[in-house]
């Protein structure tokens, strides 16, 4: 009886297997690339700001602000505007 149940379950789940994953779903999504770039520009700007390299920080954060505006990412738009304000305040 136990073997019959196992065979039945095996046949049932054979029909329910998900389709193989396409190569497209394994690729990094464009949004993830943009977020990675925004995060990288923010970090590079912070590093420059911390060593008092204000022109480089200004350049990185302006690039990030432009990209964030293109991506319509409100979080990073606010982050970059705040960071640019700090450069103008302290630089």
Decide if 31 is inside a domain.
yes
> How does pLDDT run across 17-42, given as a tens digit for each residue?
555 665 555 555 668 999 999 999 99
What whole-number distance in Å separates Cα of residue 14 and Cα of residue 37?
Answer: 42
Q: How many domains does the chain have?
A: 1
More confident residue, 5 or 59: 59
Residues of the domain holding 84: 27-90
pTM for this prediction: 0.67
Decide if 46 is inside a domain.
yes
What whole-number distance in Å separates Cα of residue 63 and Cα of residue 74?
Answer: 15
Decide if 9 is inside a domain.
no
pLDDT above 90: residue 50: yes
């Amino acid at each position: 009886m136990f073997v019959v149940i196992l065979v039945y379950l095996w046949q049932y789940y054979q029909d329910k297997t998900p389709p193989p994953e396409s190569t497209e779903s394994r690729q990094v999504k464009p949004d993830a690339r943009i977020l990675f770039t925004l995060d990288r520009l923010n970090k590079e700007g912070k590093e420059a700001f911390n060593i008092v390299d204000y022109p480089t920080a200004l350049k990185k954060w302006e690039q990030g602000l432009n990209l964030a505006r293109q991506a319509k990412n409100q979080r990073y738009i606010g982050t970059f505007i705040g960071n640019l304000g700090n450069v103008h305040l302290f630089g």
